[in-house]
Amino acid sequence: MTEITKKITITDSEIVKLTEPGNYLIELTKPEATAEIFGSFSVSRKERAKIVVTIHHKAPQTLAKTNLRGVARDKAHLSFSGRIIIDEHCGGTNSFLTERILLLSDTATAEAIPDLEILSDDVKCSHAASVSSIPAEQLFYLMSRGISKFEAEKLIVDGFLQQ
Amino acid sequence: MARFAQKKTSDFDAKGSESYEHGFSYSTKDYRYITKPGLSQKVVEEISHIKEEPKWMLELRLKALKQFEAASMPKWGADLSGIDFEAIHYYLQPTDKQVSSWDDVPADVKLTFDRLGIPEAERGVLAGVKAQYDSEVVYGSLKEAFSKDGVIFLSMDEGLKLYPDLVKEYFGSTIPSGDNKFSALNTAAWSGGSFVYVPKGVDVKMPLQTYFRINSPNAGQFERTLIIVDEGAKVHYVEGCFVAGTSIVSSEGRVFIEDVKKGDLVLSHEGKYKKVNHTQARPYSGKLFSLSIRGNPSEEIEATSEHPFLIVKRKYKNEKNKVWEKSWLPVSECRQGDYVCIPIDQVIDEQQTRIFPIKIGTGKHGFKVEQLEFPCTPELFTLIGYYLAEGSISSGHYLNFSFSETEREFIDEVKRLILEVFGETRISESYHKKNHGTNVVVSSTRLCRFFEQFGKGAANKVIPKWVMQEGKEKQEKLIKAWYRGDGNYYKRTLAHGFKEMFRISTVSKNLAYQGRDILMRLNVASSINVRNRAKEKRQDMYNLVIGGEQMIVFGAIVDQPIQPKIWGKKRATYFNIDEKYLYAPIRSIEVSEVDNIYVYNFGVDDDESYVAGGVAVHNCTAPSFSSGSLHSAVVEIILKKGTRCQYTTIQNWYKNVYNLVTKRAYVGEEAEMIWTDFNMGSKVTMKYPSFILAGKGARGETLSMALASAGQHQDTGSKAIHLAPYTSSTIVSKSISKDGGRTSYRGLVNVGPHATNSQNTVICDALLLDSISRSDTYPVDRVFNSQVAVQHEATVSKIGDDQLFYLMSRGISEEDARKMIVRGFIGDLIKKLPLEYAVEMNRLIDHEMEGSIG
């Protein structure tokens, strides 16, 4: 996979889908601009993927929802680095960042860095990050209904990546 | 806790001012040892030599010095450019040896701790107290019961002497000297700190406590703490870095300090009026400094020794300074001849017309209020000037101006002006034969009511605020008329030349000082002297004296031009005056010992300063040094199998301290480490208590709270390193930013490949109280195996309008509502503190929150 660098300026309401690793700078420059950013990534073998997303709020009353999901198999490494920057005088801004990573093998590794830099008040801003394996209860539930472990894993992963 | 004392006379101590040469907040002449500023191999060798350390320690120090020199400053995090490593004293040793009884602690050290507000109860009842004063632990006591169990609680130096093997084994094992620049610095220059060893199976129920304080400017504090908890033992260690810091000091211009109330407005060193946000009085024993200032010798200023004043240091012995560079200095550092800064009221409120509500009697129907409107002109101010000098009100309805019969010109002017300004025609003249006086009498109740605000008789003459803050041109007219009435030009030929001055005399003390304030606004420095006329059975006479160079400006105001030079030389003056300050030299400083007198305290919004006895002083508790101090500690904790250690820090350093601390715990099997970290003070804090979860089933927990106000950056967080299976960690961080302060959470969670079935949860909540503050979150989660659950959550918010609305609709004021919300925000962390600290924290937070509406 080649690294790409992309700058996206959002003035209205947009849905951005991220499919390739790389550096993304998303700027919300007009008041009341909204962005929904969704990225799903799957790495396997010895791949190393790094996704850097910066959401920069430059205008008041903007909204951004960022959702990054990834699955790492084999010896792959997956890194999510998300950053929300809210400039001064950008009151009324809401921004949410979620980074979730599923590790499907003991040798897969992951890194999640969700940063916040907030220079104005009257904002609602949160981020959440999690790294985990497939919860045993979920696998058990599906397998108890006659689905093989392999199938169950596939179902869970597909669901996880599609949201 | 510097405070000003209630006025009292003090005996002159001739030696007092001589014995304060070293320029420290407390005399450091008794210090056994002070290194030269700067760090070099020689200094390190000296420190090690004085402490009679084993060779391996010296080698370790020298190795660390090299590492320190080689390491670069961290490029991330807070701005550290203000640290000047060359200016720091790396080692100060206040007393000869450690003392084991509180009574043996040197008096001034004890005093400092008294002022820190370390409660008596904590000293006596609670277990061990170790107090670190500058670099050394000066007092340590340990409850006997603990010693019996074999608990060791010593200063690090003692620990090294008595248990060299134990120290050698663990010193630097968790935090090697090369870990970072500041751990290297600490390893090279460490002194003081604590050494704690808890033997197998001992549960130390009382918290062990230490207090630290930086007493000298540019002193680095590099304590080193090593805690070893042996299998199955439990301990709670509390580090109270400067617990006080809440309350402040003193008096405003003409109001007695004891009368200052919360909400009063006082003049700050910026020449603006600021609100008093709290007041306090408490008994004080110790040294009291009395300053007598040129120009105002009758009013002495008394302050406790570390109280900071705004001072310009005298550069030349017999000449005035050329540059006027101000700094906050503790009074104990002031010398005779230094200049104190007297702020000039910068408020100008000019109006063309003014309206005064005046009560007019309506016979038996009581009073009605009339709005009296008149032009606020220079002519009115001339009249006010005449009134201040010669006016009085008799029988409540007659306004009198009493002149000498020879002052025909003034009499006519007053009559003309009353007609011009007020349109009043009921003016008559009466002649007093015995005194050769002429009275101008105006029969107007309305004018009497108006002039009443300037005082009815000579002794209670006063200038109201609106006059004090009017424009210069009008005030010049007032001074001119006042001078005509009450002033004179004095010239007397002496054997060696002549003495020349302008004088204005009054029996009203208030008026004399207010006259001085107005003259400062007009760029004239004047002196006040008092003549006691008790023998003549008359009231004290206050003379406002304008002499030397100041006469030139004053002469122009009162139309009495003065030769700018005498014998071709400039006229001399003690003073210097610019737009914002009058600089007056200190005439003398006296030191006295006082016992149990009441000293007063108050805090001021924004500028944190006020004007006491006419001089700008700061209202802080800790010594305020113009240069930043550095606190760079290293805390290493080793937890063996099945142990538990809680380490609590409450950090409230003075706001020029760089607080750069490395704290790390090595957590063994089934052991539990809890860091409770509260950061409120210091200019910059960079502190990331961390735990290495090395044994199976180890647990780590960090509870971190930061509060940043103006000029502060709290860069705090925590690190969790999971190395073994079934380890778990929780990091809860709460931060509050206000008044432009900045808080950052910086954290690292690293789950290694062997740390299967591990869990980590990080919760960061930030509260922004205004739009100029800033909050950042920089977490990093690194996971190297799949059998884990790592979670991170962060939110940033402000106090919601709906929350405020809810509380206010129930009759709670906005300020209280905000306080409640903030208290709720951090409440679950406060609960983890020992009771007395929880109380203290709540109090501190309430204090910090005071007046922060908006």
**pLDDT the model gives residue B843:** 66
**pLDDT the model gives residue B612:** 47
**pLDDT the model gives residue B572:** 74
Confidence of residue B182 (pLDDT cuts 50, 70, 90): confident
Q: What mean pLDDT do residues B467-485 have?
A: 85
Indicate the range of A148-157, B34-43, B121-130, B552-561 predicted with least confidence: B121-130
Given a cut of 80, whether residue B27 has pLDDT beyond it is no
Q: Report angle CA A149, A155, A159 to the nearest 5 degrees.
A: 145
Closest CA to A92 of A53, A121, A70: A121
SS3 B112: helix
Q: What mean pLDDT do residues B298-309 have?
A: 65
SS3 A120: coil
Verify whether the Cβ–Cβ distance B798 to A121 is below 8 Å.
yes
Confidence of residue B286 (pLDDT cuts 50, 70, 90): low
**pLDDT the model gives residue B835:** 63
Given a cut of 80, whether residue B66 has pLDDT beyond it is yes
Verify whether the Cβ–Cβ distance B786 to A105 is below 8 Å.
yes
Residue B746 distance to chain A (closest CA, Å): 9
Q: Regarding predicted confidence, which is higher, B9 or B214?
A: B214
Residue B776 with chain A: CB contacts under 8 Å: 115-118
Residue A133 with chain B: CB contacts under 8 Å: 786-788
Verify whether the Cβ–Cβ distance B776 to A115 is below 8 Å.
yes
Given a cut of 70, whether residue B266 has pLDDT beyond it is no
Residue B92 distance to chain A (closest CA, Å): 41
- Choose from A94, A95, A121 for mutation: most chain B CBs within 10 A: A121
- What DSSP string runs through B566-590? ETTEEPP-S-EE-SSEEEEEEEEEE
Confidence of residue B218 (pLDDT cuts 50, 70, 90): very low
Separation of alpha carbons B753 and B772, rounded Å: 43
Highest mean pLDDT range out of B279-288, B519-528, B533-542?
A: B519-528
Residue A112 with chain B: CB contacts under 8 Å: 780-781, 783, 790, 792
**pLDDT the model gives residue B301:** 67
Query: Which member of B777, B787, B791 has the closest CB to residue A133?
Result: B787
Residue B791 with chain A: CB contacts under 8 Å: 128-130
Mean pLDDT score across all residues of chain B:
73
* B109-112, long-range: CB < 8 A, 24+ apart: B109/B26, B109/B133, B109/B138, B109/B139, B111/B285, B111/B286, B112/B26, B112/B213, B112/B215
Query: Which member of A113, A118, A132 has the closest CB to residue B780?
Result: A113
Query: Which member of A91, A115, A130 has the closest CB to residue B791?
Result: A130
Confidence of residue B2 (pLDDT cuts 50, 70, 90): very low
Which chain B residue is nearest to residue A90, measuring alpha carbons? B771
Indicate the range of B446-450, B629-633, B676-680 predicted with least confidence: B629-633
Q: Regarding predicted confidence, which is higher, A82 or B625?
A: A82
Query: Which member of A116, A124, A129 has the closest CB to residue B776?
Result: A116
Which chain B residue is nearest to residue A115, measuring alpha carbons? B778
Which chain A residue is nearest to residue B765, measuring alpha carbons? A126
Indicate the range of A64-68, B77-81, B487-491 predicted with least confidence: B77-81
Residues of chain B whose beta carbon is less than 8 angstroms from a beta carbon of chain A are 751, 753, 756, 766, 768-798
- Edge-to-edge strands of the sheet including B391-394? B391-394, B398-404, B437-443, B427-432
What pTM was computed for the model? 0.55
Verify whether the Cβ–Cβ distance B784 to A113 is below 8 Å.
no
Q: Regarding predicted confidence, which is higher, B209 or B406?
A: B406
pLDDT digits (tens, 9 = 90+) for B736-779: 888 888 888 888 888 888 888 888 888 888 888 877 888 888 88
Separation of alpha carbons B246 and B845, rounded Å: 10
Separation of alpha carbons B561 and B554, rounded Å: 9
Q: What mean pLDDT do residues B358-382 have?
A: 78
Q: What mean pLDDT do residues B570-591 have?
A: 79
Task: Count chain A–chain B contacts defined by CB atoms under 8 A.
Answer: 115
Q: What mean pLDDT do residues B189-199 have?
A: 81
**pLDDT the model gives residue B29:** 43
Residue B796 with chain A: CB contacts under 8 Å: 116, 118, 123-126
Q: What mean pLDDT do residues B234-262 have?
A: 44
Residue A146 distance to chain B (closest CA, Å): 24
- Choose from B796, B797, B802 for mutation: most chain A CBs within 10 A: B796
Given a cut of 50, whether residue B33 has pLDDT beyond it is yes
Residue B781 with chain A: CB contacts under 8 Å: 110-113, 129, 131
CA torsion sign, B138 to B143 to B148 to B152? negative
Separation of alpha carbons B67 and B70, rounded Å: 5
- Choose from A116, A117, A123, A132 for mutation: most chain B CBs within 10 A: A116
**pLDDT the model gives residue B23:** 27
CA distances from B343 to B331, B346, B610, B615, B828 (A): 18, 9, 9, 7, 45
Query: Which member of A119, A121, A131 has the closest CB to residue B783?
Result: A131
The H or E element spanning position B662 is: strand B657-667
Confidence of residue B727 (pLDDT cuts 50, 70, 90): very high
Would you say B211 and B194 are in contact if contact means Cβ atoms under 8 Å apart? no
Residue A50 with chain B: CB contacts under 8 Å: none
**Rg of chain B taking only CA atoms, in angstroms:** 33
Q: Regarding predicted confidence, which is higher, B92 or B10?
A: B92
Separation of alpha carbons B24 and B332, rounded Å: 7
Indicate the range of B264-273, B276-285, B446-455 predicted with least confidence: B276-285
Residue with tokens 């009324």, as numbered in its chain: A92
Given a cut of 80, whether residue B681 has pLDDT beyond it is no
- Choose from B756, B777, B788 for mutation: most chain A CBs within 10 A: B777
Residue A86 distance to chain B (closest CA, Å): 10
Which chain A residue is nearest to residue B784, measuring alpha carbons? A109
**pLDDT the model gives residue B213:** 46
Given a cut of 70, whether residue B704 has pLDDT beyond it is yes
Query: Which member of A105, A125, A131 has the closest CB to residue B788?
Result: A131
Residue A9 distance to chain B (closest CA, Å): 23
Which chain B residue is nearest to residue A127, measuring alpha carbons? B794
Verify whether the Cβ–Cβ distance B786 to A108 is below 8 Å.
yes
Confidence of residue B574 (pLDDT cuts 50, 70, 90): confident
Q: What ranges in B433-541 are assigned the alpha helix state H?
A: 445-451, 465-468, 472-486, 509-521
CA B360 to chain centre: 48
Separation of alpha carbons B798 and B769, rounded Å: 6
Given a cut of 70, whether residue B477 has pLDDT beyond it is yes
Query: Which member of A108, A118, A124 has the closest CB to residue B775?
Result: A118
Separation of alpha carbons B242 and B437, rounded Å: 67
Helix B181-189 / helix B41-50 crossing angle, nearest 10 deg: 50
**pLDDT the model gives residue B109:** 46
Q: Regarding predicted confidence, which is higher, B259 or B829?
A: B829
**pLDDT the model gives residue B253:** 35
**pLDDT the model gives residue B206:** 64
Confidence of residue B239 (pLDDT cuts 50, 70, 90): low
pLDDT digits (tens, 9 = 90+) for A34-53: 888 888 888 888 888 888 88
Q: What mean pLDDT do residues B523-548 have?
A: 81
Q: With helix as H, strand as E and coil as C, how does B342-403 read?
A: EECCCCCCCCCEEEEEEEEECHHHCEEEEEEEEECCHHHHHHHHHHHHHEEEECCCEEEEEE
Residue B749 distance to chain A (closest CA, Å): 10
**pLDDT the model gives residue B240:** 45
Residue A125 with chain B: CB contacts under 8 Å: 795-797
Residue B748 distance to chain A (closest CA, Å): 9
Which chain B residue is nearest to residue A100, measuring alpha carbons? B791
Residues of chain A whose beta carbon is less than 8 angstroms from a beta carbon of chain B are 88-89, 91, 101, 103-133
Indicate the range of A73-82, B149-158, B242-251 predicted with least confidence: B242-251
pLDDT digits (tens, 9 = 90+) for B407-442: 888 888 888 888 888 877 788 888 877 778 888 888
Residue B761 with chain A: CB contacts under 8 Å: none
Q: What mean pLDDT do residues B489-503 have?
A: 80
Verify whether the Cβ–Cβ distance A130 to B790 is below 8 Å.
yes
The tokens for B727 are 């380890």
ipTM attached to this prediction: 0.72
Given a cut of 70, whether residue A106 has pLDDT beyond it is yes
Would you say B505 and B512 are in contact if contact means Cβ atoms under 8 Å apart? no
Helix, strand, coil distribution of chain B in percent, nearest 5:
25, 40, 35
**pLDDT the model gives residue B262:** 59
pLDDT digits (tens, 9 = 90+) for A25-36: 888 888 888 888
Verify whether the Cβ–Cβ distance A128 to B785 is below 8 Å.
no
Q: Regarding predicted confidence, which is higher, B596 or B133?
A: B596
SS3 B245: coil
Highest mean pLDDT range out of A120-124, B266-270, B393-397, B837-841?
A: B393-397
pLDDT digits (tens, 9 = 90+) for B74-88: 777 777 777 777 766
Query: Which member of B777, B789, B798 has the closest CB to residue A132?
Result: B789
